[in-house]
Amino acid sequence: MAVTAQAYVLESPKAPLVRKPLQVPTPGATEAIVEVIACGLCHTDLGYADGSVPTKKGIPIVLGHEGVGRVVEAGKDYESLVGSTVLVPAVLPCGECPFCLAGRGNACPNQKMPGNDIDGAFSTHFLVPARPLIKIGASSNVAALSVVADAVSTAYQAILRANVTAGDAVVVVGSGGVGSFVVQIANALGARVLACDIVEERLKLISDYGASQTINLTNLDPKELRKQVRAFAKGVPTLKYKIFECSGSAPGQTTAYGLLERGATMMQVGYTPNKIDVRLSNLMAFDATLHGTWGCPPEVYPGVLRMIEEGKVKLGPFIAYGPMSKVNDYLADMAAHKLEKRMVMDPLT
């Protein structure tokens, strides 16, 4: 059947997104059309919208990579999905290449990212590869699960990659967005968690959701920060230090790297196009480990959804709801650092 979507299209960098009807292509054998229930707004969307980060598809493009919805049409290989409520991962791997077969689907060279490689979920409907879709059961608030597509699942994958275990000393630089979920997941696994940020309101909030201690980084000398981190982790061998850079800023990256110790692990989770200067010899001298992490393989999603179902990860305090018709206002507020919670948008309002 022909599906016409009402979508918010990026037609020019730095210009407002334009609402317009778009014809959704007929699904191929391995594709599906998802009717969007809700879509989260990510800082990466702002990078695409303001032109600081080019999309792989180019322009025009429909942004949005945190979609949850219902499958309304599917190709012959996935017709059984029609009618299902699904989470659309931000990273949609092919499932067949050497990366995918090795459990590294988030590094799949054939992956598709909604709102980057293909049109995304700032729309009433969008076309996606069907194989990676995550079926979800009945929920009192399906819309809230949209943020699992990126913010929560990315945090979970980073925690797994760092092999966080009980007794670790976890330091999270940037405790908003993805960082807030890194804190919660690490705490649920029994780690001792230190949250660092420059926004006091974020620190106050996260102190109620898993952070054993918080540090405001504003005007804090790096040597003093190291001293406070060591005091926080007293009794924990530096081999069990796990440092997560989630701020998506050059100062945050420099700060996190400066906290490396002997045998410690650092996870680079946030993104910024800006460059920093670091001494890579620190990795050698400390026999330390630095990992990048991108998205989350679809097969890992059940674990994080289970943590949410069990109440170990809370979504409500960290998200806000609004109509997609105000997406340009939300992007402007994000650029001005006025958004303290992740926006979850309704495409029908």
Q: What is the pLDDT of residues 14-69, one digit of tens each?
A: 999 999 999 999 999 999 999 999 999 999 999 999 999 999 999 999 999 999 99
CATH superfamily of 3-150+296-346: Medium-chain alcohol dehydrogenases, catalytic domain (3.90.180.10)
Which of 54, 48, 84, 51 has its CA nearest to residue 69? 84
| Residue-level pLDDT at 340 | 85
Return the residue matching tokens 């650029």: 335
Residue 237 pLDDT > 90: yes
The predicted model scores a pTM of 0.95
Q: What percent of the chain has pLDDT over 70?
A: 99
Q: What percent of the chain has pLDDT over 90?
A: 96
| Residue-level pLDDT at 297 | 94
Residue 137 pLDDT > 90: no
Give the H/E segment covering residue 171.
strand 169-173
151 and 179 in contact (C-beta within 8 Å)? no
Mean pLDDT value across residues 95-112: 95
| Residue-level pLDDT at 46 | 95
Q: Give 7: exposed, middle or buried? Use CB within 10 Å, 0-12, 13-18, 19+.
A: buried
Give the span between the Cα atoms of 123 and 6, in whole angstroms. Answer: 6
- Maximum separation of any 2 CA atoms in the chain, in Å: 63
The residue extents of the domains of the chain are 3-150+296-346, 153-292
Residue 139 pLDDT > 90: no
| pLDDT tens string 200-230 | 999 999 999 999 999 999 999 999 999 999 9
Residue 2 pLDDT > 90: no
Alpha helix locations (H) across the chain?
43-49, 98-101, 151-161, 178-188, 200-206, 222-232, 250-257, 281-286, 301-309, 327-335
How does the average pLDDT of the chain come out, rounded? 96
Give the span between the Cα atoms of 113 and 117, in whole angstroms. Answer: 5
Give the length of the chain. Answer: 349
Give the span between the Cα atoms of 212 and 47, in whole angstroms. Answer: 32
Q: Does domain 153-292 match CATH 3.40.50.720? A: yes
Residue 140 pLDDT > 90: no
Mean pLDDT value across residues 87-91: 97
